[in-house]
Each structure stands twice: as structure tokens, then as C-alpha cells.
Amino acid sequence: MEKKKIDVPEPVPDPPVRVDRFGFVKQETNNPPEGLAKSRSAFEFEREERRIRKWRKMIGVGGSDWKYYVRRKPHVVKRRIRKGIPDCLRGLVWQLISGSRDLLLMNPGVYEQLVIYETSASELDIIRDISRTFPSHVFFRQRHGPGQRSLYNVLKAYSVFDRDVGYVQGMGFVAGLLLLYMSEEDAFWLLVALLKGAVHAPMEGLYLVGLPLVQQYLFQFDNLVRERLPKLGEHFSREMINPSMYASQWFITVFSYSFPFHLALRIWDVFLYEGVKIVFKVGLALLKYCHDDLTKLPFEKLIHALRNFPEDAMNPDTLLPLAYSMKQVSKRLEELKVEYQKKQGTTAG
């Protein structure tokens, strides 16, 4: 008797994951008309190519001309950084402007020693938190995949390198952002440059016990809001809103935690070159942009709005020029820092 052939349906493959240009899994949206998309991308491609050529000339081979160019034409460097570093050069430029490239060259073999031979008291905490860092990015999605392993290595190495800081949760987003643009060892030394103050003031106080630098920044920001946006400052007082309720993550992760990635990158370009004042300026610019809406909201809705800004407020081409227009911020930050330290001294006494 002839055996009856049974048709086994072919397994249906999973649809390919669609990602944006930064590697984050895309939410399905309606695509623009094909012709429009093509013409726009061709124009943008040509403009980007011109920008890349200018940047390559400025950097030199492997960064060889960078310091010379910064000394000769600091105004040009600042202007170009504020416009945004080309994505293909971002990792290298970040290392050059942060001072981390010099730290790496001065400390050969140190990172490998920290990763392979040292143990950290924070290892379990790091492992627990890793899957929460950029979970929608293809590099970090896979459990125990290369992204999560690299992130673990960098955080573990830093927790050994600086045992006073060890590991604090927000550090994962900073290290994760860096790993999307550079190797583990490069990301580690950039973290060191930031926290130890290779170029700008040290930021390790963001992660020390009690988060002392976060407390200082929130005091400074609160005062800036009251001075620059008095109507909103008064509304915040009436509704009992203080910056710790919405701005702590801005400082702890330098906007890498909850901001749209394309905006966070543009802020990081400026942050690494100009220092933490850009975090204050962007925060003020956001509040100023949404000022009229925010002054009308009661407590519950206000908290929600301060954690979920509208899309148009998050447009870098709108928000960043507004942030750059905030004058005399550095000077006022210095004055408020002295005031805060006096206040702390009095409290301690």
C-alpha cells in the first residue's frame, strides 16, 4: 500500500527586526512616499559627505592634527561640535575632546588587568542591571550576548579601578552609550576621563554615596529656574515640585536614559567639549519651550509632563539653539556652587 505523503508546512521565519539608523528596534510607522524619501536622503547624504570631509581635515589621521586645530581655531571647533559631530567620526572625536585617548596611551594593559584578574564587590548588582540598559537596542538585547558582556566588563573594570565609586545604576546608560561608538577599553577610559576630570571638573560625585554632586546640581538648577523662569518657578513652589522629582536622571545619565537617542547624542557632543553647563542649559531650554503649558498644570499632570516632554520640544534643531542662547550660565553656576558649599558647611557645623 502506497504511503500517503503528508504535507508539512514550511516554518515561517520570524520577520526581520527593523532598526533605526542608530540600531534601536523601530516602532512601525507609516512610511513617507518613496520619491520624497529618496530625494531627501540624497540631499542629506551629500550634505553629510561635505561635513565629514571638513571634519576629517580637522582631525587628521587618527587624531594627529586635532590639538593643533583646537589651538588655532577654537571658535570653528566649537561651532562644528554644536552643529553635531558626524556619526561615523563620533567615537574618535569623543575620545579626543574628553582626554580619554591620552589616558589610554598612558596606561597600556591596565584595562585588561582590571577585567581579567580583579574581582569586584559590585558584580552581582551589575549583572542584575545589565538587561535594563537600552533593552531595545540590537547590541544589548541578547541575554549574555556580546553587548551585555562588553557592558559588564566596562562597569566591572570601573568598579575595581575606583572602589570609592564602585558601581551605581545610572552608570550603565553612560557606559552603554559609549560602547555604541567605541571599544570596551576606549569606553572605560572615557568613563575614567569624565569621572576623574581629565578635561572638565570631575563628575565622580554623581555616583558617590549620597550622590553629593547630584544634590549640588539640583540646588543650582532649582535656583536657575526661579531666576530665569520666575513664573514657572512660582508655579513649581505652589505645586510643591522640586528638581529631584524630574531632573536627577538628566544629570546622572547626561540625558542618555530617557531622551530620544538622536538628541542625547547631540547633547553629548557638546557636553564632552564644553562641560556640564550644557545639561543645565538644555534643562532650562526645555522648561522655557514648554513654559506656558507647564504653568497651567496641577501636580499630578505636571509630574507626568516633566517626565514626558512632547516630540516637538525634543527636536535638536529647535531645542539646542534655545539652549545655546542661555547666557551667563557658567558664571551663575560658579556663584551658586559657592553658595551651596557654604550652606553645606553651615549644615555640617
Which region among 10-14, 26-30, 40-44, 231-235 has the lowest average model confidence (pLDDT)? 10-14
1 has pLDDT over 70: no
| Residue found under cell 563628575 | 203
CATH 1.10.8.270 assigned to domain 101-201? The reply is yes
Q: What pLDDT is recorded for position 13?
A: 53
Q: What pLDDT is recorded for position 15?
A: 56
Read off the pLDDT of residues 162-174 as tens digits, 9 standing for 90 and up: 999 999 988 999 9
C-alpha cell at 19: 532598526
- Residue 134 DSSP code: S
- The model's confidence at residue 63, banded by pLDDT at 50, 70 and 90, is confident
Q: What pLDDT is recorded for position 36?
A: 43
Which region among 6-20, 45-59, 184-198, 292-306 has the lowest average model confidence (pLDDT)? 6-20
Cα–Cα distance between 80 and 85 in angstroms, integer?
A: 7
- The model's confidence at residue 61, banded by pLDDT at 50, 70 and 90, is confident
Q: CATH 1.10.472.80: which residues of the chain?
A: 212-348
With a CB cutoff of 8 Å and minimum separation 6, the contacts of 103 are 189, 192, 193, 198
> Sign of torsion, CA 215 122 91 72?
positive
Q: What pLDDT is recorded for position 39?
A: 52
The closest alpha carbon to 290, from 238, 231, 218, belongs to 231
Contact between 193 and 203 under an 8 Å Cβ cutoff? The reply is no
Q: What pLDDT is recorded for position 2?
A: 52
With a CB cutoff of 8 Å and minimum separation 6, the contacts of 97 are 81, 199, 272, 273
In the three-class reduction of DSSP (H, G, I as helix; E, B as strand; rest coil), residue 17 is classed as coil
Cα–Cα distance between 292 and 313 in angstroms, integer?
A: 13
Contact between 143 and 183 under an 8 Å Cβ cutoff? The reply is no
- The model's confidence at residue 25, banded by pLDDT at 50, 70 and 90, is confident
Q: How many CA atoms lie within 13 A of 69 on its CB side?
A: 19
Cα–Cα distance between 144 and 128 in angstroms, integer?
A: 12
Cα–Cα distance between 208 and 200 in angstroms, integer?
A: 18
| Average pLDDT for 244-249 | 94
327 has pLDDT over 60: yes
Intra-chain end-to-end CA distance of the chain, in Å: 99
Q: CATH 1.10.8.270: which residues of the chain?
A: 101-201
**With 0-12 CB in 10 A as exposed, 13-18 as middle and 19+ as buried, what is 164?**
exposed
Type of residue numbered 82: R
The b-or-e profile of 77-93 (16+ CB within 10 A means b, else e) is beebbbebbbeebbbbb
Pick the CATH number of 212-348 from 1.10.1740.10, 3.30.430.20, 1.10.443.10, 1.10.472.80: 1.10.472.80
| Residue found under cell 520640544 | 313
Cα–Cα distance between 265 and 86 in angstroms, integer?
A: 11
Name the percent of the chain lying above pLDDT 70: 90
Contact between 107 and 198 under an 8 Å Cβ cutoff? The reply is no
| Average pLDDT for 75-97 | 95
- The model's confidence at residue 348, banded by pLDDT at 50, 70 and 90, is low
| Average pLDDT for 124-139 | 92
Average pLDDT, the chain: 89
C-alpha cell at 156: 566591572
**Paired strand residues for 19:** 25
C-alpha cell at 48: 553629510
Q: What pLDDT is recorded for position 182?
A: 97
Read off the pLDDT of residues 262-298 as tens digits, 9 standing for 90 and up: 999 999 999 999 999 999 999 999 999 999 999 999 9
Read off the pLDDT of residues 193-213 as tens digits, 9 standing for 90 and up: 999 998 898 999 999 999 999
Read off the pLDDT of residues 185-197 as tens digits, 9 standing for 90 and up: 999 999 999 999 9
Report the largest interatomic distance among the alpha carbons of the chain, rounded to a whole angstrom. Answer: 99
Q: What pLDDT is recorded for position 37?
A: 47
Phi-psi region of 346 (alpha: psi -120 to 50; beta: other; left: phi over 0): alpha
**Residue 298 CA to its chain's centroid (Å):** 30
- The model's confidence at residue 146, banded by pLDDT at 50, 70 and 90, is very high
